[in-house]
Amino acid sequence: MQIRSFLRFAAFVAAMALIFAVSPLFAQRKITIKLASLVPENTPWGMVINRMSTEWSQATGGEVELAVYHNGVAGDETEVLRKLRMNQIQAAVFTSIGLNSVTPEILTLSYPFLIRTDQELNAVLGKLKPELDAKMQQNGFVTLAWARAGWIKVFSRSPVYVPSDMRKLKVSASPSELEMIQAFKTMGYQIVPLNLNDILVSLNSGMVDVVWQSPIAVAGYQIFGVAKNMSSINVAPFMGGILMNNTAWRRIPDRHKSRLMAICKRIETEIEGSISKLEAEAISTMKKYGLTVCELSPRQTQEWYEDMGRYESNLAGPVFNRELYHKIKAILEDHRRGR
C-alpha cells in the first residue's frame, strides 16, 4: 500500500510539474528594454541600433527585446537620464554631455587639444575603458557600447589659424557645456552661450563669429553657409555611448549576458566606422558648396598645443578631473614615444 501511495504521489507531482511548465503563469517572461535615442532613425546610429534590437531578440530566442524610441521622442539627454534613473526607460544613447552627467570624469577625454588623433584616442580608450566602465557601474549604469562620434572642429566666418586669430572673435558654445565654456574663458576667448538651433541666426546677425562643433552637425544645420572656414586641427574627440541601468541589467538572465555584450561590441565597431565615413562625406560635401579648409602648418598646429599647455593648472582640477587628465597625459606620452 505504501508503494502504491508513493507511486500515486509521484504521478501527481509529475502531472503538476507538467501543468506548471506549460502554464503561461510559469512560462519564461519576456524582458522588454526601452531604449531612448536622440538620433534620427535614418542615420548610421539609428540603423545600427535597430539591428542591435533584432540581434538581441534572436540571440535570446525572443526572451530579451529592445523597444527603441528614436528621434528624441523620450526627451533631451537631461530628461532621458531622469527617466533612466527612475527605470521608466532602461537604456539610452548619450553624447559626451550625457555621459559626463553620469560620470564627470569622462569629460576629461574632451580636454581641448589633449587627444589629437584617432590613434591616440585608441591608445587612451584601450587603457582606460575598464576604469571608466567601473565608474559607470558604481554610478548605476552598465556601458553597453562606447563610440567615437567624430572630432570637434573650429568653424568660423573669417579664417582661424592660430589662437590669436580666435581670441579676436566671438565664440559660440552650448549653454549645457559649462566646463568647456569655463575652459575657453580661462584661455581668454570671448564666449557667447547659444543653443545649437540659434547658432545660424546668430552667425548671420554677427552675434558670434566662431563655433566649435562636429562637422556632421555643421553640415546638417547648414552652419557652413555662414561659417565658411574650418580649421584643420582637431579640438577634441566627440564621444557617444549606450548605457543601461543596473536594475534592468540584473533582470537579464546571466546565460544571455555574454552574447548580448558581444553583439554590443561589434555594434560599437560598426558605429565608429559609419560615423567616420559620414564625417568625411560631410566635409567633402561642404567643400563642394564653399567651405574652405584652413590647413594649419606644423608650426601653427604646435602653437595651439603650446598655448593650451600654459593653462594646465587652470584646467586640470578646476574644470577637468585632475587624476584622469594625468593618466591620459602619461598614456599619450608613451604612445608618442612609440612605446
**93, β-bridge pairs:** 242
- For residue range 148-199, list pLDDT tens digits in order: 878 999 999 999 999 999 999 999 988 877 777 887 888 899 999 988 788 9
Q: What is the pLDDT of residue 297?
A: 97
- The answer to whether position 322 is within a domain reads yes
- The answer to whether position 307 is within a domain reads yes
pTM as predicted: 0.82
Could you please report the per-residue DSSP string of 119-156? HHHHHHHHHHHHHHHHHHHHTTEEEEEEEEEEEEEEEE
15-19, 35-39, 215-219: least confidently modelled range: 15-19
- For residue range 250-304, list pLDDT tens digits in order: 999 999 999 999 999 998 888 888 888 888 999 999 999 999 999 999 999 999 9
Instruction: Residue 111: name the closest of 98, 101, 124, 102 by CA.
Output: 124
- For residue range 201-239, list pLDDT tens digits in order: 999 999 999 999 899 889 988 999 999 999 999 999 988
- The answer to whether position 5 is within a domain reads no
CATH number of the domain at 314, please.
3.40.190.170
* Separation between Cα atoms, residue 332 and residue 241, nearest integer Å: 22
- The answer to whether position 25 is within a domain reads no
Q: What is the pLDDT of residue 16?
A: 42
- The answer to whether position 2 is within a domain reads no
Rg of the chain on CA atoms, in Å: 25
Query: 6 pLDDT band (50/70/90 cuts)?
Result: very low
- The answer to whether position 116 is within a domain reads yes
- The answer to whether position 17 is within a domain reads no
Q: For the chain, what is the mean pLDDT?
A: 87
Range of the domain at 232: 30-336
Distances (CA, A) of 179 to 95, 101, 315: 15, 12, 9
Number of domains observed in the structure of the chain: 1
- The answer to whether position 10 is within a domain reads no
